[in-house]
Structure 1
Amino acid sequence: MMKPIQLLAVFAVAFQLPSFLAAQGAFEVGEIAPYTIVKEAKNYEIRSYAPANWVCRDHTGDNFRNRDQAMSFFDLFDYITGQNSAETDIKMTAPVTVHTQNNFDAQGNSQYKMCFYLPAIHQANPPSPKNSAVYIENRPALILAARRFGGFVKGQRDWNEHKEALKADMKADNELDFDFDNFYGASYDSPYTFKDRRNEVWVAKLQ
């Protein structure tokens, strides 16, 4: 059986909070990005998300390696712990999302956009980031299909496998007007949550 610290290391690989920060109790999830369920299917559901502000950081490359994940996460974590124009602390929310956009540039690299949902109290007027690599995204209204799964995600391959499973289920239901080439990975839990973990893959309805 893996020791807790080993499990935390596995968690870090999945784009989420690095283990040594989690050990300090810094990742305490508050609000969850709100949505309305439009359709419930056997292995997925279709949701409606209203427009909302998220704080984001991008990475472009052929992969989203552990060091890249850590850099994105820490820049966003710095923003919610005072590195913003209001110099205020902002509560951690869920989920942490990473949007993977494949073939983003002429070299065939992907863009990996990691984002934190901003709490309701900061939605109307979010403070500006001090770090130029961090920005506020006004995410438009979206219809998303979501597939939920548990456990610790071990890497990008796990996300891709669940995205392909979602794609297969939706095509079997003739739900074809979704972007299956690009997707979101969403994680809701602290690294210290060992049971009933909530991970999701999302694909967006084509506009």
Structure 2
Amino acid sequence: IGGSSPEEEEEAEARGEEDAQQARLLSYWQSVGRGHRVDVPRMKHCPYNLYLKNGELTASFFFSHLQLKHVLYETRRYGKAKWACIKMQEEQYEQSICLGFMKLMRYICEQNSSGSYLGMTIPIVTIVHTNESHSAITCSVTVAYCLPELLQEQPPQPYDSDIVIEEWPPTVVSTRSFTGVTNEDSIVREINLLAELLENPELYLQDTFIVAGYTNPAAANRHNEIWFLHRP
């Protein structure tokens, strides 16, 4: 008498697993942050488990397929959308994206004019620039998060003055997936691989590219894409 039902015990066990998962992910982000001089506080209303159990983020930035080239790459059209963007220029690419994402995470969680968790979208993107030969990327990058659909009309304003809300116009991209870590070497490699596959390279911007991340950075097998931007 007075004991828990099997359903209640199962629910309590699920809550315990979720709490443990969030604690592990918070620990991960705090460890990453310490390496780049970023404090990641425990926020009352912030779910640090920003990813589903399979490692994917929770909501998509939608696009329409235009063309699929023998599964080697595909061309998509994205509609206009508002993005929260932050420009970074650390010594290494990995430092820039880490610090930029930490700042965006604070904005997403509660450091915004609504004071609430905004919800995650995928992908988180990084705009990178290369030299003319595509042999190196510059230190200056932009890390960006697409506002969820319900917040597109009136995005909550960030408290961090480094974060800017921008409206990006409709865009056509050609993209190719790759797995593993994203660093300067892997990005340069993927840019050159896709450049060799494209039939009409003159149709694309030659020094500006997007790295799209879909997977929890703590995951063993990350899902990434490189985007080539069609000229306006």
TM-score when normalising by structure 2: 0.70
Cα distance in structure 1, aligned partners of 2:79 and 2:102: 27
What value does the CA root-mean-square deviation take over the aligned residues? 2.8
Is residue 176 from structure 1 mapped to residue 202 from structure 2 by the alignment?
Answer: yes
Is residue 145 from structure 1 mapped to residue 170 from structure 2 by the alignment?
Answer: no
Deviation at 1:174, TM superposition (A): 2.8
Runs (5+) with no aligned partner, structure 2: 1-24, 33-37, 42-46, 52-56, 132-136
Where do residues 81-120 of structure 1 align in structure 2 (5 Å cutoff)? 81-102=109-130, 110-120=139-149
Mark the CA change 1:158 to 1:204 in structure 2 (over 3 Å): closer, same or farther. Answer: same
Q: 1:129 aligns with which of 144, 147, 158?
A: 158
1:141-178 deviations in Å (ceiling 9; x for gaps): 1011111112x2151210111011111100xx234310
- Would the aligned equivalents of 1:47 and 1:145 in 2 still touch at CA under 8 Å? yes
Deviation at 1:133, TM superposition (A): 0.4
Deviation at 1:49, TM superposition (A): 0.5
1:175-195 deviations in Å (ceiling 9; x for gaps): 431013221111101135435
1:59-92 deviations in Å (ceiling 9; x for gaps): 13564242x3322111100000111111111111
Number of matched pairs: 184
Who is 1:186 aligned against? 212
Who is 1:47 aligned against? 76
Supply the AA of the counterpart residue of 2:192. Answer: E
Q: 2:89 aligns with which of 46, 60, 76?
A: 60
> Secondary structure of 2:50's match?
coil
Supply the AA of the counterpart residue of 1:26. Answer: N
Mark the CA change 1:82 to 1:185 in structure 2 (over 3 Å): closer, same or farther. Answer: same
Cα distance in structure 2, aligned partners of 1:189 and 1:61: 23
- Would the aligned equivalents of 2:211 and 2:226 in 1 still touch at CA under 8 Å? yes
TM-score when normalising by structure 1: 0.78
Cα distance in structure 2, aligned partners of 1:142 and 1:85: 29
- Would the aligned equivalents of 2:86 and 2:163 in 1 still touch at CA under 8 Å? yes
Who is 1:27 aligned against? 50
Is residue 203 from structure 1 mapped to residue 231 from structure 2 by the alignment?
Answer: no
Who is 2:97 aligned against? 69
Identity within the alignment, %: 23
Cα distance in structure 2, aligned partners of 1:127 and 1:73: 17
Structure with higher RCO (Cα < 8 A, 6+ apart): 1
Structure number with larger C-alpha Rg = 2
Deviation at 1:34, TM superposition (A): 0.6
1:9-45 deviations in Å (ceiling 9; x for gaps): 9xx7xxxxx9x99xx8532221111111111113111
Cα distance in structure 2, aligned partners of 1:41 and 1:102: 25
Supply the AA of the counterpart residue of 2:223. Answer: R
